[in-house]
Chains A and B, each alone.
Chain A
């Protein structure tokens, strides 16, 4: 199917009144949770997974995708107005966005962010259209060894790029792979790690695990840190940026689109890394870098464009290779699996309505976001009055009722609770749940392809290195491991030396880059819960996300 035919079909799917409703719901929910500091896109998507059972596959992906890119818009609002990123990818917007707000230019800051996001998102959709079909054609020729390479590559990059501590992340990925083996072995029918519990014969339910780790775990963790609702002081007016603002930021928007697109496609990429990289790039390119941090509009336009572009292009590897590049996409992947659809190279041919429908919905969704954001900023800001405790209480009740509704089984509620506790403890001990869930989702494919490759080769590992594609991937993997180990050791030796421009700024403002998809509130380490303050211990985390510094 050609691009034009595909798009035609896509728009006929996306313009279906039901799907228009889901695009709208998706971007609206996304914006709202982007604003609310206690909930990030991962938690929200995890909480809504049970609902996707009730929907058509296309509608469910349209809804979840809308939440993801919608949250990138919403996070901006609180970054600019309150210096409180509502979602992790908007952390850098704080530097110049909040300064602009203090100078009475909150309106143009939000306006340029919305326009930049729209342009970045739209250009990224075009890139997705151009890049995805040829990539899928290439991937059709992949055999089992290539899938082993690709899956392992995805897990590895997510553990290395998106996290603070690669060994810890790798450890969690291994745990995720191990948990994925619970249940009946599909090849031999042997029960593994079931301890004679009937409930475990089919393995742990992905929805319950994800809802526990991300939904409950994140809510609990944020609840421990969040302070109560804030009042907005600065008034927002003149949202539409002036002609001069557009001229100043046009370059940043263009560069942000391209940068965001490519960083989004990479495994381990996504909104957080892209916005950090774009900020660093703009500051380095600027004639007068000292303007940054004092309300330079490029410092808002670039990162906001980049994070939105990347949240769209992250769909490329998912829809063409069947490999989710980050945690949010892993959840969407899980939602598709639940529907009986395995994303992969055949998706474009077998389910063109999903592929093209989702793409077309992104055009519509970005348009809606632009229309929603400009007039409704004032309304979204009011949402900040909702206290984190109230939000948590209702979100948890929805989680419990929601997970029960999936299999009508109380056992799943216990799984959610147990994984909620694990997720919360992981957050507190610096282990990130992202790699675990990603590995859990990919575990079955990885094991199956590995075993088939071994059968194919008669037990020779050389099969992974002698075939051109898998050989190349493994070589790149080795390079990544080597490079980041060397960098890690080097940094350990010279602690004082700060790696990247954006990271320097992050430390200066007392912020931290949180993993993809989390609520950004934990990023503000100085702002802790009133009760925690009694003990005088603000949130202490490790360093910033590694990736910001590892980017050349």
Chain B
């Protein structure tokens, strides 16, 4: 089983392509002489499905990189980005930015705390100054600034 694991990628693409073809058909294909809104999506979705189908059989397993412990780290990093976005919407930029930088500096750069904390705080403040004060980007109300 595990040696066929790499076929998941083309399979997902194939399912995606077929789903898009069905959706496009519902949009009305029209005629070739008077193309409807669904015709073009239908054509490209067919191309997607066709290539995915070919890949299901001919794809080279060597193209697929193994999952390592580094991968787990990346996944954690991604979760932290998701949390950042949620918090950003709720309590503004500064606190989530410091937290995110802290996590990344500890997790990936392996900075000791005595460097990570000041770097994160200074970084967040500088970005706040650049984006909010200098460029005038309306970030959500910031809990630190009493918004």
Contacts and interface: CB of A to CB of B under 8 A. Distances in A.
Interface of A: 54, 164-165, 167-168, 170-171, 174-175, 177-178, 181, 185, 187-188, 190, 192-193, 216, 220, 223-225, 387-390, 392-394, 396-398, 400-401, 404-405, 408, 410, 413-414, 417, 420-421, 424, 428-431, 443, 447, 450-451, 454-455, 457-461, 529, 531-532, 534-535, 537, 539-542
B44 A178 contact: yes
A413 B70 contact: no
B68 A192 contact: no
Interface in B99-137: 100-101, 104-105, 107-111, 119, 123-124, 127, 131, 135, 137
Contacts of A534: 68-69
A541 B16 CA distance: 26
Contacts of A170: 47, 51
Contacts of B119: 390
Interface residues of B, number: 73
A345 B66 CA distance: 46
Q: Tell which of B51, B82, B88 has the most Cβ of chain A within 10 Å.
A: B51
Given A188-B36, A534-B69, A175 B48 contact: yes
Contacts of A459: 31-34
A224 B63 contact: no
Contacts of B62: 540, 542
Contacts of B58: 167
Contacts of A224: 68, 70-71, 73-74
Contact of B135 (A54, A171, A461): A54
Nearest to B103: A393
Given A429-B9, A450-B35, 4 more contacts: A190-B28, A458-B33, A459-B33, A531-B73
Contacts of A174: 17, 44-45, 47-48, 51
A540 B66 contact: yes
Contact of B44 (A181, A223, A424, A535): A181
Interface of B (DSSP majority class): helix
Contacts of A225: 70
B81 A417 contact: yes
A397 B17 CA distance: 33
B27 interface: yes
Contacts of B64: 428-430
B123 A397 contact: yes
A397 B93 CA distance: 10
11 contacts: A168-B51, A223-B70, A390-B105, A397-B124, A397-B127, A401-B97, A429-B63, A429-B64, A431-B9, A455-B35, A532-B68
Given A394-B101, A410-B88, A540-B65, A454 B70 contact: no
B128 to A, nearest CB: 9
B92 to A, nearest CB: 12
A532 B70 contact: yes
Contacts of A392: 104, 108-109
Contacts of B107: 389
A187 B37 contact: yes
A402 to B, nearest CB: 8
B85 interface: yes
Contact of A404 (B35, B36, B137): B137
A428 B34 CA distance: 42
B51 A171 contact: yes
A537 B68 contact: yes
Contacts of B45: 174, 178
Contacts of A431: 9
Interface in B33-81: 33-41, 44-45, 47-48, 51-52, 54-55, 58-60, 62-66, 68-71, 73-74, 77-78, 81
